[in-house]
């Protein structure tokens, strides 16, 4: 389940941070990283996992993309519905157990979501299950000075930073490999390479061909013999 499900108070704190100078800096980074790493195409379907109040769904909507969001917080979903109206399909649900079919979307994004989850690996596998083309992840970088200061402040103040589990690029890549296997990934940071304040990573989904033993019987005189097999495509994620 989600490590932190936003209530009114935590949502207020997050929105306050989002409107701060640092929040705006991350927003600019996210938009640039989406263009460079996700390469969204008009009329594609995107699922924003942990969509919150819909900040990034508004951005995707401007790109002409079919927008969909899911969040564990009914309070945040209500805000997003008021902001987005009929433009967006919104559902309440957990990132680790998405209420959607396999390959239902072209793209799945987790923007400032992974940091709040108790089981990030399960959430990544779910994102890969519902996405046909790419999964995009954006997180705060645990190796940046800004993140270290935030974590220290969180020890002595009632702040969202105490609930956040940031990632460095090697840890993020490790989770992606465990979730999807050796698939193509690309990443960038805001600022100083592996030590930049924010990290963005995209994973390109791939399919594996496997053989299914589908036996067909045909009549050959007095005997019936099984012939042939079937080939199906299936996404094979590591266990």
- pLDDT digits (tens), the chain, 239 positions: 345 666 666 667 767 666 777 667 778 889 999 999 999 999 999 999 999 889 999 999 999 999 999 999 998 899 999 999 999 999 999 999 999 999 999 999 999 899 889 899 999 999 999 999 999 999 988 887 666 556 555 544 445 555 677 889 999 999 999 999 999 999 999 876 788 888 999 999 986 444 444 555 444 455 444 444 444 455 656 65
pLDDT recorded at residue 163: 60
- Confidence at residue 19, expressed as pLDDT on a 0 to 100 scale: 72
Task: Determine the pLDDT at residue 81.
Answer: 95
How far is it, in rounded angstroms, from Cα 186 to Cα 23? 23
The structural domains of the chain, ordered by start, are 8-207 (3.40.50.150)
| pLDDT score, position 1 | 38
Pairing mode of beta strands 208-212, 198-204 = unpaired
Nearest to 111 by CA among 100, 102, 101, 123: 123
pLDDT for position 118: 86
CA distance 150 to 41: 36
pLDDT at 232: 45
pLDDT for 7 equals 66
- How much is the pLDDT for 124? 98
d(CA 108, CA 131): 6
Block residue for tokens 């989770």: 175
């Amino acid at each position: 389940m989600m490590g932190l499900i936003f209530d009114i108070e935590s949502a207020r704190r997050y929105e306050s941070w989002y409107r701060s100078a640092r929040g705006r800096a991350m927003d600019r980074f996210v938009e640039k990283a989406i263009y460079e790493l996700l390469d969204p195409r008009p009329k594609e379907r995107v699922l924003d996992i942990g969509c919150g109040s819909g900040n990034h769904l508004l951005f995707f909507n401007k790109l002409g993309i079919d927008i969909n969001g899911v969040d564990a917080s009914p309070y945040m979903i209500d805000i997003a519905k008021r902001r987005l109206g009929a433009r967006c399909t919104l559902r309440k649900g957990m990132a680790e157990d998405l209420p959607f079919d396999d390959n239902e979307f072209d793209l799945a994004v987790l923007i400032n979501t992974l940091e709040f989850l108790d089981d990030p690996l399960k959430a990544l596998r779910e994102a890969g299950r519902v996405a046909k083309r790419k999964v995009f992840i954006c997180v705060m970088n645990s190796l940046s000075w800004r993140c270290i200061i935030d974590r220290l402040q969180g020890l002595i103040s009632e702040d969202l930073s105490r609930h956040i589990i940031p990632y460095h690029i090697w840890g993020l890549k490790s989770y992606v490999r465990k979730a999807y296997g050796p698939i193509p990934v690309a990443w960038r940071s805001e600022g100083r390479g592996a030590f930049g304040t924010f990290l963005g990573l995209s994973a390109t989904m791939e399919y594996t061909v496997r053989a299914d033993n589908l036996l067909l019987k045909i009549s050959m005189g007095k005997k019936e013999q099984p012939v042939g097999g079937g080939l199906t495509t299936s996404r094979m994620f590591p266990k």
